[in-house]
Structure 1
Amino acid sequence: MAKDFHSATVVAGYDSHIRKLIPGYELVHQHINAILSSHLPETAQLLVVGCGTGYELQYLLQQHPQWQFTAIDPSLSMLQQAEKNIQSVAGHERVRFIQADTHQFAQQAQVENLQFDAALAILVAHFVPVAEKILFFQDIYQTLKPAAILLSYDLMQQTENIELRWMQNLALDCGLTTVQAEKMLARLADDFHLITVDVQAALLTQVGFHQCKTYCQLMNYYGFFAQK
């Protein structure tokens, strides 16, 4: 059974658990900030797709006091936790939270004439079914200004079985128990819809993005940069 991100129990344990699952979790966000800082103006508008419990919002609010954020997530539990988590951060009023998936939000953005300088989809697209991934990225593309950028970060499909053992061993080093690490591997088929790096790049190009390239790789987690 796939993990239920609407579950209060799952949401409550998300922040501590994800740091054991995702290698270099904080470092990834430092990479993202470095790229955003190189491309965006001081008063940028950002879309955060699948904002989860709001770690990236907290981090970027502190780094960029004039940026405005729209954070979407289909899980009301995640949105409520994210809103709670950023209350102590200066500038939390610069975030608008919306319960929606990308398709619902793309329609809303068109009605409200919303366009963004950048979109973040961090640890989101690997949960989207393969047949729906192109629609997912198309929805994001439609909300972006000309020359705006998309940054994603997702688990990609393994090319060799030994890579699963690599991931398991790293997760153990990061704090997962042996049982948790075994469950992590067992849940891959339920929780994730994985594609190869080449297929991901092709999808982004097909949608209309150009300059598609990877900006980081940790194990089989890859960050993609794409510009409209």
Structure 2
Amino acid sequence: MKDNQGVFSNPAVVGPYVEEAPLKVPGLFDLHRMAMLLLSERAGREARILVVGAGGGMELRALAEARQEWRFAGVDPSAAMLDLARRQVGPLAGRIALIEGTVEAAPAGPFEGALCLLTLHFLDRPERLRTLRAIHDRLRPGARLVIAHHCAPGGAAAHWLARSAAFADRSGSDRDRAAASARRMAERLPLLSDAEEEDLLREAGFADVELFYAAFSFRGWVASAG
């Protein structure tokens, strides 16, 4: 997971990211495939796709392997995470431009699709709205946006975060530690309810907002640029 607070400049976080993320996010690799399929419904054979929060490179690699004609621009504020992304994409790098910065550093487009995974939950509501609007401005009309991140379903985050933390504890041996981790996440992350998430997408200019992924505290939506 990626933020703009400097956490992902920490080598202790960056180093094991690729190995640990699938253990923390239920069905992460399937989420990548679902995102590819949803984007493919509107994106053409030689589409340009914008990936926001691209550090780590796992979603870039998954999409680039599945759609060999697509080209990508990936932005992330963490240089260390972008270095990890470069290692992940390897021989696919010729179709992938990696850019250090927030979404405003991305090319103007227009792109035929956009993806933002495990990122928006780090942003407060004003910054999240600004980010979504900047993505919208870079998409062709009707192009798809796919997002997924921690949410507060029904406005109640605590017990869903605790379940996500328990999922990540593969030993299952320390419920107190999982509960403490959930409390830290609840304090640190400016989570929105599922209804607020959908309202924010519409406020940013998106339409046809649909939930497609739900896994404990994680939720994912697909929407179309108006």
TM, length-normalised to structure 1: 0.87
Q: In the alignment, does 2:49 pair up with 1:46?
A: yes
Report the Cα distance in structure 1 between the residues aligned to 2:105 and 2:218, rounded to whole angstroms. Answer: 27
- Matches of 2:216 and 2:103, distance apart in 1: 28
The DSSP-based 3-state class of the residue aligned with 1:187 is helix
The DSSP-based 3-state class of the residue aligned with 1:212 is: strand
SS of the equivalent of 1:117 reads strand
| Alignment match of 2:190 (pick from 180, 189, 193) | 193
Residue number among 121, 126, 130 corresponding to 1:126 in the alignment: 121
CA distance in 2, matches of 1:84, 1:217: 30
Is the Cα–Cα contact under 8 Å of residues 33 and 63 in structure 2 kept in the other structure? Answer: no
Q: Is the 8 A contact 1:3 1:191 kept in 2?
A: no
Further displaced range: 187-196 or 149-158: 187-196
The secondary structure found in structure 2 opposite 1:5 is helix
Would the alpha carbon gap of residues 55 and 164 (structure 1) be closer, same or farther in structure 2, given more than 3 Å must change?
closer
Between the aligned partners of 1:6 and 1:177, the Cα distance in structure 2 is: 30
When the two chains are superposed, the root-mean-square deviation of aligned CA atoms in Å is: 2.0
Structure 1 pair 104–65 and aligned structure 2 pair: CA distance change class (3 A): closer
2:93 matched to 1:92? yes
Instruction: Tell me: CA distance 1:176–1:30, structure 2 relative to 1, closer, same or farther (3 Å).
Output: farther
SS in 2 for 1:163: helix
Bigger drift between 176-185 and 43-52 goes to 176-185
Structure 2 residue corresponding to 1:20, chosen from 12, 18, 23? 23
- Cα shift at 1:37: 2.5
The answer to whether the aligner puts 1:168 opposite 2:169 as a matched pair is: no
1:137–1:204 contact (8 Å) kept in structure 2: yes
Match of 2:68 in 1: 65
**Secondary structure of the residue that 2:209 maps to in structure 1?**
strand
Gapped regions of structure 1 (runs ≥ 5): none
Q: Residues 74 and 101 of structure 1 are in contact (CA less than 8 Å); yes or no, is this contact kept in structure 2?
A: yes
Q: Where in structure 2 are there 5+ consecutive unaligned residues?
A: none
Say if 1:20 and 1:175, in contact at 8 Å, map to a contact too.
no
SS across alignment from 2:21: helix
Aligned to 1:52, the other structure's residue is in SS state coil
CA distance in 1, matches of 2:43, 2:84: 28
Q: Are 1:7 and 2:19 counterparts?
A: no
**Segment drifting more, 45-54 vs 5-14:** 5-14
The 1-side partners of 2:142 and 2:172 are apart by 41
Please name the residue that 2:59 is paired with: 56
Residue of structure 2 in register with 1:222 after alignment: 219
Distance in 2 between residues matched to 1:177 and 1:33, nearest whole Å:
36
Q: 1:176, 1:49 → 2: CA distance? A: 33
For residues 101 and 59 of structure 2, what CA distance do their matches in structure 1 show? 18
Moved more, 42-51 or 52-61: 52-61
User: What is the Cα deviation at residue 133 of structure 1?
Assistant: 1.4
After superposition, what is the alpha-carbon deviation per residue over 1:27-48, rounded to whole angstroms, capped at 9, x for unaligned?
A: 1112112212222111000001
Q: Counterpart of 1:153? A: 148
SS at match of 1:153: strand
Q: CA deviation at 1:138?
A: 0.6
| 1:175 Cα deviation after fit | 5.2
